[in-house]
Amino acid sequence: MKNRSPVPKGRFSMMHNPKSALILLAVWTSALIGAGTAFSQEIEVRSDGVRAVKNPAAPVGHEGKAVRLSLIQDLVIGNDPSAGDSSFGTLSAVIVDDVGDIIAYDRKNACFKIFDKNGRFVRRFGRSGQGPGEIQTLMSMSLVGADNIAVVDTGTNRMSVFSKDGVCFRMIPLTKGVPYNAMTDKQGHVYGTVLIFESPVLMKLVKFGPDLLQQATMATLKMPSQNALPPPELTERYYYYAAPDGTLVWGTNYRYSLNVINPEGKLVLTFERAAEPEKLTRARLIQIVKMLYPDRPVPDNMAIPSHYPKNFPFFNAVIGDDEGRIYVRTLAGWGTGTTSYDVFDPAGSYIARFERPEDEEIVAVKKGRAYVRIKENEKGMPLIKRYRLEWR
């Protein structure tokens, strides 16, 4: 069932009711940027009430006009190595809370560092170890509630929850598997990938309760055998974003399609973008290996192993903002020094595309600001940058 009415703006919460999805039926036509050829966007509501959006290769925007997005830098933290606590040994993870405070974990110095919305250093806390409140091997960091800090630590085999004052008030053993790349919502649910070492090895996208007991398996991937496993950068895997209200957006990197699950666990939206995969040629593989492992000798006649995939994946990050938009970090031109982000509105329409330097990883978008982690700049310093978003 299709028509040609415009899609209204909205948040994911608008789509939790299937009746709302019926209002959002639309077909838009957009012009390819820099060319005069029109490409259609197809939108339909399936028989099960799921809204399915097929976007063209170019941004659709609104009323056939792509949205233009500019990023204006307004903050840098870490560029002065003499600034003590305002610089970093490493930047393992960065999150941003609801008031704009920036929370970083410095693995080299085994501590959390907190900065206010103006970039001023507020406090540090934490230490290395396996005792109460100590961190050994941090795997992921996310927010619980408005400003509590949850970390999954494989060294201590637990998830610990800290206040911003540095008090560790909860420790939960990881007895039911490690949720890798864990994300939490405000209710304390944890979303993460879990490896099941059976035959075959399985990767599951799992929702855990606040007690870290598994509540639901969202999806399952069969992994290659251990002796036929490609490098991590070429391995099929899940990428996802857990919104504060419990909405989950997820997809696999070898298919440019994303799924939206509402807080009740129901699939309410799928959206995709037309994209041709980049072929994995020997020349491109050598280029990427040299970029990833600069100290490793790579023979110019290196062949592509038979168990490697034939193409590069489409993306390697999915991020959401507080207005329901989704930002997908693509791998188009991977290894060339720049990377592209595709932006989708809450209804699944492809509205904008912008480029960033490849070493800039957007880790959060909140209140019109994009927060970026740079593991090392050209001087070898880890940095946090913030950009103001200007939509036109």
Strands 138-144 vs 121-125: parallel, antiparallel or unpaired: unpaired
Residues found in the chain: 392
* DSSP-based three-state secondary structure for 340: strand
- Residue by residue, pLDDT tens for the chain (392 residues) are 443 334 334 344 434 444 443 333 333 333 333 333 345 899 999 999 999 999 999 998 766 666 889 999 999 999 887 788 899 999 999 999 999 999 999 999 999 999 999 999 999 999 999 998 899 999 999 998 878 999 999 999 999 999 999 999 999 998 877 888 999 988 889 999 999 888 888 999 999 998 899 999 999 999 887 677 888 889 999 999 999 889 999 999 999 999 999 999 999 999 999 999 999 998 888 888 888 788 888 887 888 888 899 999 999 999 999 999 999 999 987 888 899 999 999 999 999 999 999 999 999 999 999 999 999 988 889 999 999 999 98
pLDDT value of residue 3: 37
Using CA atoms, how far residue 356 sits from 150, 260, 276, 315, 337, in Å, is: 29, 26, 21, 14, 9
For 291-316, letters b (16+ CB in 10 Å) and e give eeeeeeeeeeeeeeeeebeeebbbbb
Using CA atoms, how far residue 311 sits from 31, 291, 332, in Å, is: 28, 18, 11
pLDDT value of residue 39: 59
Whole-number Å distance between alpha carbons of 80 and 126 = 23
CB 73 within 8 A of CB 66: no
CB 263 within 8 A of CB 191: no
Whole-number Å distance between alpha carbons of 364 and 244 = 12
